[in-house]
Structure 1
Amino acid sequence: MNNGSSAKMHGPDQPEISGSSPKSLRTKMGKPEDSEKKIFLKNPKDVEISVPIVYGNIAFWLGKKANEYQSHKWSVYVRGATNEDLGVVIKRAVFQLHSSFSNPTRVVESPPFELSECGWGEFEIAITLFFHGDVCDKPLNLFHHLKLYPEDESGPMSTKKPVVVESYDEIVFPEPSEAFLARVQNEPAVVFPRLPAGVALPPPVPVEDASKRKRGDTKDHPLCQWFTNFSEADELLQLAAARQQVCITLSHIF
């Protein structure tokens, strides 16, 4: 936090880095409510689109530059699980900071969905993701506890290695509209479904010239070297794909 209120605090004789604490989730969203304006597949019940995301924070101790009110510089963010551009699904992200910050409600209208600040204490940040109209009408609320100090409380702190805390989530969109399918079928941020027998893909939406649009991925992000490699993500996605295939097979049998 920036100033005032209570927070978990440690002195400058604490350690330099904390390991990440990954959490694996699978959040299922609803289909757009305004369905009369959407064209849905004939058999949408067996179709899901999933988008793996990571959200968390990176915090650097300021060392000799630290003072009573600013001990760390930190960034909080939502990124693709392997740094893909999430702008194809997420329209904007709202970060709710502690009330001691100036303008605590921060709105990020385009990827990368992140913000950076300086402060001295830890607090919970509410992150609200709003999706494009053909994706989902309802926003997704996430909560992340800003972590500035490492868990290990032995040894000196360092300005070179940050504290990194990230969580993995797989956002699942059931019964996607044809417009959604057409728009994202070639997007790397999206795990595209295997469609049921007899269901054809809609024509893909032409992609803008990459040179004329801003890249929203985080593959070249200056903090990329500190991002957590969620090795479990691939396994989770494979399990999700297997589950979906079983559902499709069972629907054909029964």
Structure 2
Amino acid sequence: MAASRRLRELQSQPGNKICVDRARVCPQQVIESDMALEEIWSLKVERNKRERATSDEKLEEKRVLVNLLKEEGNHRFLVGEIDEAVLKYTEAIELCPLRYTNGRIVLYSNRAQCNLLLRDSNAAISDTTRPLCLSSPPNSHSKSLWRISQAYDMKGMAKESLMDCIMFINGCIKSKRVATQVKILYYAVRMISKQMDTTWLFKASQLKTSSNHPEMEKLPRQNGKSGNIEHANEEIMRILKQKKSFKSDLVSRLRFEFPEPTRSCHC
């Protein structure tokens, strides 16, 4: 509200006539901007002030209630009641104190998974962007990286989907949980294969790799049959294990062609 009033004051000034003209041309965008400004103001200023004035005991009570709502949302999700799960996660997000960053990351990411199942890609992208901004270091929450890659794929944005999927795999390789393994999740391999075929971004690298490693040419091409795809993935993983130099060369090319993206949100 305060942000909206401030925006109208700026529009009324002579030097900001362009804002008024823009409002006449695309009022829907101005309305969305007003809503975003009000949300930022409410979250970053008003809510922060209220929570600072709240006692630690009340904040702890809120945290316990948030966990209960999250568990109920998880249960709704498991039994297939996706819409109800979204409502529970939303209620928990609105109640969760800003200082509990890890809890908010999980809630946003869980709601993003629900939005994926509901085929709402825009909402899923919005909900996954927030955990990636809140995570430390930024863009390190693996589940959100995989989910935003799926959301971009749903929208037909192959390059963005490929970039986040690569970051997801890179995070899995670096994690301690799989530090002793060489395996890469098969569904991530399939996503990368799909987006690389769509974008043709690594065609030159693929040709160079084929010339250096003739056995890659023997792999069956993707023809829509899951059996051939899975067999191809197994062969790829076998070659990656045998050709460590190929793996390091591919990773270096991925990092060169895909620098870490910068995300912005108003969490």
TM-score above 0.5 = no
TM-score (norm 1): 0.21
TM-score (norm 2): 0.20
Larger gyration radius, structure 1 or structure 2: 2
Higher helix share: 2
Higher strand share: 1
User: Larger relative contact order (C-alpha < 8 A, sep ≥ 6)?
Assistant: 1
